[in-house]
Structure 1
Amino acid sequence: MDQQTWFIIALGIYLLAMIYIGWSGWRKTAEYDEYMIGGRGLHPFVAALSAGASDMSGWLLMGLPGAIYLSGLNQTWIAIGLVIGAWLNWKFTAPRLRSYTKIAHNSITVPSFLENRLHDRTKILRVAAGLIILLFFTFYVSSGMVAGGRYWESTFGGNYHVGMLLVAAITVAYTLFGGFLAVSYTDTVQGVIMFIALAAVPVAGLIYLVNHGNSVADIFSFAANNPYPGSDGKPVEGYFNMFSGTSALAIIGLLGWGLGYFGQPHIIVRFMALRSSKDATEGRRWGIGWQFLCMLGAVIVALTSTVFFATNPNANVTDAESYETIFLDMTRILFHPLIAGLILTAVLAAIMSTISSQLLVSSSALIEDLFKATVNKSLRPKTYMTLSRVAVALIAIIAALIAANPNSSILNLVGFAWAGFGAAFGPVLLASLYWKRLNATGAAAGMITGAIVSFAWGMSPLTDTIYEIVPGFAAATVVMIAVTLATAKPSGEIVDQFERAVVAARD
């Protein structure tokens, strides 16, 4: 059999497994809160790997290696910031959010939690939060579809748009029917696949290069002295120097990616779904261990690929502009087609896990936080479940239209959406969990300020100076504190609820 046939067999095995998990999730999903949050019974291992897989997406296997390949180790500041931010998020957000969302009228989304936590009767908080989620997740989902199209191009030599639509259709199918449980279980399987792939490919790359006359020292010094595809015929100056060509503001901006964790709805919802607050500790250990090892693998893939593609005349990079297919191309060349096909499903796993989580949260924003909160809150739970499924399909269509441009950068699309969520929700959620003085007016002002500053900054040339999450997060924090202190204190009932949540988080 030829290579393409083996790839198709591997892809078929993977897709059938995902559809089966989606069907199993559908059988276990009878109630609306089960569709949206799994009945708050998520095991910490499942929560950790599903959060990690939905977080990393195609960025980990495509965007990060491509960025390091082109610019050097100065791009690893992103990975460092993300590991630190994820650890802090699991440590300080997860346990208290799990207890507080249960106490705050069993809130099952970020917007509903903010409304119930601050007793906002105006609906401003919930509606604004829902609109922000829809706006930025549309860009986020489209980044996954771009990655799907490139995956199809590199792996099968097929048409970008066909691949984009196929990946989107399969993901929408199991999200549509299985809901939160299907998404969480598929994410866990996908997280395991990603881990295996990011261990196998760099090891195979190193073995290949050593067997072809390169010492390990040669491999890790090559890019410092030799031009390679993408470097315009010149060596990248200071390739192995993390500070080379990077200003202090740029480093702050790259580390600032870690701030985004505090405001990502598709990650935070896993904290809400844990069995108890105590599970956050175990979840943190699984999640951070998985994330660190996967990122290390991605960095080694980028480093070995600089030598691999420069010294192997038969090796070509499919994406010769942003070089976000080097993981795919190395895998295709190094392994037997069936093994390569199974490894390459890791990229598809990363893409689909993120799209599915984001579609589910987006549909909850549209139905739970906009339609139910402002139009009709007296329909039957099964009707809301049906409307949520319709919302999944509509959001997927809009994201596909954005992703129709094959020149879109995965990293740029992810970065824009990540910053928007981090700036809008991060300060407000942290204050909701740790500052009893916070009121609804201050929270709304901070959230809206963060979204606007991040959006405007990201659309302007200023984004080249410092990543937009930093000014957005700072502006949101300052405005939130100032407006809160300038307006009325929260009621005794709100303060009492806050204190009960603090105690519950320790139990």
Structure 2
Amino acid sequence: MSEGFWLVLAIILYFGVMVAIGFYSWLQTQKYDDYVLGDRGLNPVVAALSAGASDMSGWLLMGLPGALFVSGLSELWIVFGLFIGTWANWKFVAPRLRAYTEVSNNSITLPSFFENRTHDQSRILRVTSAVIIIFFFTFYVSSGMVSGGRYFESTFDGDYLTGVLIIGSVTVLYTFIGGFLAVSYTDVVQGTLMFLALLIVPMLALFALNDPSDILTWPTEQPYGPWENGNPDYFNLVAGVSAATIIGNLAWGLGYFGQPHIVTRFMALRSPAQAKTARRTGTIWVFICYVGAVLTAMVSTAYFGQKSASVTDQEGFETVFLDLARIMFHPLIAGIVLTAVLAAIMSTMSSQLLVTSSALIEDLYRIVNKNPSQTSLLVLSRTMVVVIALIGMLMALNPSDTILGLVGFAWAGFGSAFGPVVIASLYWRRLTSQGALAGMIVGAITSFVWGSFFGDIIYEMVPGVILATLAMVLVSLATRPKEGVEEEFDEAIAATDYALDHPEVSFPDALEAVKGNRTGSAAV
């Protein structure tokens, strides 16, 4: 049988599993809160793998190896920043956000949390947050569609548009059916595939070389990819890289605090105490995945130089992982391995589609219709998943940037607009609704304008976060928190600390214990 038959069979099996998980999740989704946040019942390991898989996208297996292949290890500064950001997000944001979103009127989306946290009655803060989510996620979803198209080009020598349509359609199908639980459960399968593939593919390619130690000399001395005589600075972390570039790449880690599709997993944990287990699982997973991506790039420099093979993508070289897998394995095994790329692409897209749908329905539609039925909310949420996917497909028809470029633009937008506000919401009782709004708007505008016109100077995340933080702090100091905001802050933090000290206690019981202690103290 032909190679194409086996590859198609593997992909069909994978798609079948994803859709089956979607239908299983549909049976568990009885109401709107289930569809959006899984009724806050997510296992910590599931939360960790889901956050990791939805975070990485096709960038991990395509964009990052391609960048390292072309430019060398100077691209590792992004990895350093992201790894630190992953750990810090689970350590400092996850427990408090899980607790505070429940204390603050059981907020199930980030925009609703900002509104409830600051007691904003104008709805401006919530609407602005939703608009920012919709805007930047269209670019993020588009990057996934682009990855899907390039995946089909490399794997099947197929048509880019066909890839965009097929991968987009299957992702929409299981997200449409099962909502948050489908996205989370499929992320576990997808995260496991990514993890195993990034271990197996580069290791087998390494031992297929004439001499495995060639990866330490080939990229600096021999021709490969865009380098006719090798890249003598391949292993130099700072060669040809300015201080501004290093700072900008490290700043990618700041973006974690404001990514709605990641922090939503924190909100869905069963209790704040489970963030500790999730943090350990998530950081180990992402560390090994990064090592695999780096090794893939290093091995590829020697492999494609020594073997009679070439990289399909001769511009960004973002298909080195796909090409290695196709060359080394039987087509059926290669197809299974290559589903890891689909996993990375689809896990991120599904999370983004769901968050964008939630922003449209929970944070915009429910302002107009305050008492919709559960059925109408579910129908509208599913409809919006389809609409956003179609917009992403249209944008992907003629991509104007690399996968990494599209991801970087959206990542900076969310990090600048939401990151400072999330941190201040959880650690500064003096934050006001006006300050949060000012920081959000300044961060989003700065990120967009700087990225469009001054991106060559430094990554837009840096000025975006700095100016957003200044605006947020100055405006908050010039205004006053609404009545009850500071008391609610103290209650949320006390409940978080109690839950962390008593992991066997459910969070509602922890909250009741804190309230009971305060009532008792007041009586005395």
TM-score, shorter chain, exceeding 0.5: yes
Task: Say if 2:393 is the partner of 1:397.
Answer: no
Residue 487 of structure 1 deviates from its aligned partner by 1.4
Task: Say if 2:224 is the partner of 1:228.
Answer: yes
Residue 381 of structure 1 deviates from its aligned partner by 1.5
Task: Say if 2:296 is the partner of 1:305.
Answer: no
Report if aligned partners of 1:437, 1:490 keep a CA contact under 8 Å in 2.
no
User: 1-side partners of 2:452 and 2:388: how far apart?
Assistant: 22
**Residues 49-94 of structure 1, C-alpha deviations (whole Å, 9 max, x = no match):** 0000000010000000000000000001111100100100000000
Paired AA for residue 503 in structure 1: A
Residue 406 of structure 1 deviates from its aligned partner by 4.7
The alignment partner of 2:120 has SS state of coil
Task: Say if 2:308 is the partner of 1:317.
Answer: no
Residue 227 of structure 1 deviates from its aligned partner by 2.4
Residue 270 of structure 1 deviates from its aligned partner by 0.2
The alignment partner of 1:321 has SS state of coil
Task: Say if 2:276 is the partner of 1:285.
Answer: no
Residue 370 of structure 1 deviates from its aligned partner by 1.0
1:219 pairs with one of 185, 196, 215? 215
Q: Where does residue 502 of structure 1 map in the other structure?
A: 493
Residue 215 of structure 1 deviates from its aligned partner by 4.1
Residue 237 of structure 1 deviates from its aligned partner by 3.5
- Residues 332 and 407 of structure 1: CA distance in aligned 2, closer, same or farther (over 3 Å): farther
**Residues 159-216 of structure 1, C-alpha deviations (whole Å, 9 max, x = no match):** 000011100000000001100000000001100000000000010011101xxx3241
Q: Map 1:477-492 onto structure 2 (within 5 A).
A: 477-491=469-483
Task: Say if 2:251 is the partner of 1:259.
Answer: no
Paired AA for residue 496 in structure 2: A
Task: Say if 2:459 is the partner of 1:464.
Answer: no
User: 2-side partners of 1:168 and 1:63: how far apart?
Assistant: 19
The alignment partner of 2:389 has SS state of helix
User: 2-side partners of 1:205 and 1:343: how far apart?
Assistant: 13
Q: Where does residue 39 of structure 1 map in the other structure?
A: 39
What is the TM-score of this pair, normalised by structure 2? 0.94
- Residues 234 and 377 of structure 1: CA distance in aligned 2, closer, same or farther (over 3 Å): farther
Residue 234 of structure 1 deviates from its aligned partner by 3.6
Report if aligned partners of 2:206, 2:212 keep a CA contact under 8 Å in 1.
no
Residue 475 of structure 1 deviates from its aligned partner by 0.5
- Residues 312 and 406 of structure 1: CA distance in aligned 2, closer, same or farther (over 3 Å): farther
User: 2-side partners of 1:351 and 1:489: how far apart?
Assistant: 41
Report if aligned partners of 1:154, 1:318 keep a CA contact under 8 Å in 2.
yes
Q: Map 1:246-395 onto structure 2 (within 5 A).
A: 246-313=241-308, 315-373=309-367, 375-395=368-388
1:476 pairs with one of 465, 468, 472? 468
User: 1-side partners of 2:447 and 2:181: how far apart?
Assistant: 32
**Residues 34-60 of structure 1, C-alpha deviations (whole Å, 9 max, x = no match):** 000000000000000000000001000
Residue 358 of structure 1 deviates from its aligned partner by 0.1
Residue 489 of structure 1 deviates from its aligned partner by 3.8
Residue 230 of structure 1 deviates from its aligned partner by 1.7
Report if aligned partners of 1:442, 1:480 keep a CA contact under 8 Å in 2.
yes
Report if aligned partners of 1:266, 1:361 keep a CA contact under 8 Å in 2.
yes
User: 1-side partners of 2:240 and 2:174: how far apart?
Assistant: 44
User: 2-side partners of 1:495 and 1:465: how far apart?
Assistant: 40
Report if aligned partners of 2:152, 2:158 keep a CA contact under 8 Å in 1.
yes
User: 2-side partners of 1:249 and 1:19: how far apart?
Assistant: 45
Paired AA for residue 64 in structure 2: L
Residue 464 of structure 1 deviates from its aligned partner by 1.4
Report if aligned partners of 1:52, 1:191 keep a CA contact under 8 Å in 2.
yes
Q: Where does residue 81 of structure 1 map in the other structure?
A: 81
Report if aligned partners of 2:443, 2:468 keep a CA contact under 8 Å in 1.
yes
User: 1-side partners of 2:363 and 2:49: how far apart?
Assistant: 27
Residue 333 of structure 1 deviates from its aligned partner by 0.2
Q: Map 1:68-107 onto structure 2 (within 5 A).
A: 68-107=68-107
The alignment partner of 1:330 has SS state of helix
The alignment partner of 1:108 has SS state of coil
Q: Where does residue 454 of structure 1 map in the other structure?
A: 447
Paired AA for residue 443 in structure 1: A
**Residues 257-302 of structure 1, C-alpha deviations (whole Å, 9 max, x = no match):** 0000000000000000000000000000000000000010000000
Report if aligned partners of 1:155, 1:328 keep a CA contact under 8 Å in 2.
yes
Residue 236 of structure 1 deviates from its aligned partner by 2.0
Q: Where does residue 110 of structure 1 map in the other structure?
A: 110
Paired AA for residue 53 in structure 1: A
Paired AA for residue 226 in structure 1: Q
**Residues 405-439 of structure 1, C-alpha deviations (whole Å, 9 max, x = no match):** 15631000000000000000000010000000000
User: 1-side partners of 2:23 and 2:393: how far apart?
Assistant: 24
Paired AA for residue 266 in structure 1: H
Structure 1 unaligned spans of 5+? none
User: 1-side partners of 2:22 and 2:46: how far apart?
Assistant: 15
Report if aligned partners of 1:237, 1:244 keep a CA contact under 8 Å in 2.
no
Equivalent pairs, count = 498
The alignment partner of 1:437 has SS state of coil
User: 2-side partners of 1:381 and 1:33: how far apart?
Assistant: 9
Paired AA for residue 280 in structure 1: A
User: 2-side partners of 1:247 and 1:413: how far apart?
Assistant: 22
- Residues 57 and 215 of structure 1: CA distance in aligned 2, closer, same or farther (over 3 Å): closer
User: 1-side partners of 2:44 and 2:27: how far apart?
Assistant: 22
User: 1-side partners of 2:217 and 2:471: how far apart?
Assistant: 48
Q: Where does residue 417 of structure 2 map in the other structure?
A: 424
Segment drifting more, 2-11 vs 259-268: 2-11
Report if aligned partners of 2:257, 2:415 keep a CA contact under 8 Å in 1.
yes
Report if aligned partners of 1:100, 1:501 keep a CA contact under 8 Å in 2.
yes
Report if aligned partners of 2:118, 2:481 keep a CA contact under 8 Å in 1.
no
What is the TM-score of this pair, normalised by structure 1? 0.97
Structure 2 unaligned spans of 5+? 500-524
Report if aligned partners of 1:441, 1:484 keep a CA contact under 8 Å in 2.
yes
Report if aligned partners of 1:160, 1:406 keep a CA contact under 8 Å in 2.
no
Which consecutive aligned stretches of 4+ in structure 1 deviate over 4 angstroms post-superposition? none
Report if aligned partners of 1:25, 1:179 keep a CA contact under 8 Å in 2.
yes
Q: Where does residue 59 of structure 1 map in the other structure?
A: 59
Report if aligned partners of 1:146, 1:408 keep a CA contact under 8 Å in 2.
no
Report if aligned partners of 1:62, 1:326 keep a CA contact under 8 Å in 2.
yes
